[in-house]
Amino acid sequence: MVMITATTSVEVVSRETIKPLCPTPNHLRNYILSSIDQNSPPIYIPVLLFYLNNTSINTNEKLFVLKKSLGECLSEYYPLAGTFRDDYSVVECNDEGAEFIGARVNCDISQIIGTSNVKLLNQLLPFESTGNWGKFKEKAYEREVLVAAQANLFRCGGLAIGVCISHKIADGTSAVAFLNSWASKSLNNYHGYNANIVPPPIFDSARNFPPREMPRYSHDIGITNKTIVTKRFIFDSSSILALKKQASTAIIDSSDENIKFPTRVQAVSSLIWSRVLALYRSKTTYAKICVAVHAVNIRPRMESWNHQSLITRLEIIGQLL
């Protein structure tokens, strides 16, 4: 059982701005957002990566390599080191940089992995991912940061890296590509060899999805937390396998193999959605349409595999009734 005490805390000990290793060329100074990017509110994609202390590399060297490789990564992902214009139509690739925060956590990493304490997990992120850009921790920044990282050092020597990437110019696939590139460069700097080669990013989404006239988003727009409750559910591999088996057994009349043999996401989503509906129906006597929303990556459905490296929001919204 994971034990989180009332005294568990995350203390920020350092802040700095990481600039791209190489300046962005003049002809790449303006990155035009696509129509898909324009339609996204100015919120952030949050990612947490946990690493056990299974290396002899000391803390200072870890942080040095992380910051050095982040600067190298920003040279390739240059729009992430820039700033939005007021109308959110263009990113000015001015090499303002990414924010890097160092923090200490007064517990072991084993006490955090597996916890359902979402409030504590949020403290491992550089800022509130669902809020507007003015809600940075302690309001430490005067500009709208497009990417920020927080290195959380645990008492046991473990490390958790929290990353927030602007959802205006990236989706989940783009965020993973950025993190893979950062990880590859970090390994190269640690060990002096080239890790798995990560395809270079492609920033021409506006050519595929030309920008349109859009209503201007306010800097104050975000997702309110007043009526939203966030819960974290953890499913191990055996539980997911049992769910998939149960779901496939229940579906006997379908000739569609994709429906007859559900994926992990489909099985877990169906379970959660069915429980939400059951709870709702137990508290009301009148019928009401309920809708759940899923974001779906459409890159594999596009003609060119180069779109896997396209840094933009390439997702559509699917609904469950």
The model's pLDDT over 250-309, given as tens digits with 9 standing for 90+, comes to 665 556 555 667 888 888 988 888 888 888 888 877 777 778 877 777 777 666 545 445
In this structure, what token pair is assigned to residue 21?
């290793």
Instruction: Tell me how crowded residue 130 is: count the other CB atoms within 10 A of its CB.
Output: 17
3-state secondary structure of 94: coil
Split at pLDDT 50, 70, 90, the class of 51 is very high
User: What pLDDT score does 312 carry?
Assistant: 52
User: What pLDDT score does 15 carry?
Assistant: 94
- More reliable by pLDDT, 206 or 2: 206
Where do we find the tokens 């270079």? 200
- More reliable by pLDDT, 84 or 223: 84
Cβ proximity of 205 and 34 under 8 Å: yes
Q: Does domain 10-208 have CATH number 2.30.130.30?
A: no
Mean pLDDT confidence for 63-71 = 95
Which residues, at least 6 apart from 315, have a Cβ–Cβ distance to it below 8 Å? 171, 172, 173, 295, 296, 297, 298
- More reliable by pLDDT, 141 or 2: 141
User: What pLDDT score does 105 carry?
Assistant: 95
**CA-CA distance, 269 to 320, in Å (whole number)?**
10
User: What pLDDT score does 179 carry?
Assistant: 94
User: What pLDDT score does 178 carry?
Assistant: 93
Q: Where are the domain boundaries for CATH 3.30.559.10 in the chain? A: 10-208
Instruction: Tell me how crowded residue 245 is: count the other CB atoms within 10 A of its CB.
Output: 13
Residue 91 φ/ψ, nearest 5 degrees: -100, 120
> Mean pLDDT lowest for which of 156-165, 176-185, 281-290?
281-290
Split at pLDDT 50, 70, 90, the class of 216 is low
User: What pLDDT score does 192 carry?
Assistant: 67
Mean pLDDT confidence for 94-122 = 91
pTM of the model as a whole:
0.79
pLDDT reading at 91 higher than 70: yes
Mean pLDDT confidence for 142-166 = 92
DSSP classification of residue 18? E
pLDDT, averaged across the chain:
80
What's the CA angle centered on 247, arms 246 and 252, to 5 degrees?
105
Q: Pick from 227, 226, 177, 174: which is nearest to 205 by CA?
A: 174
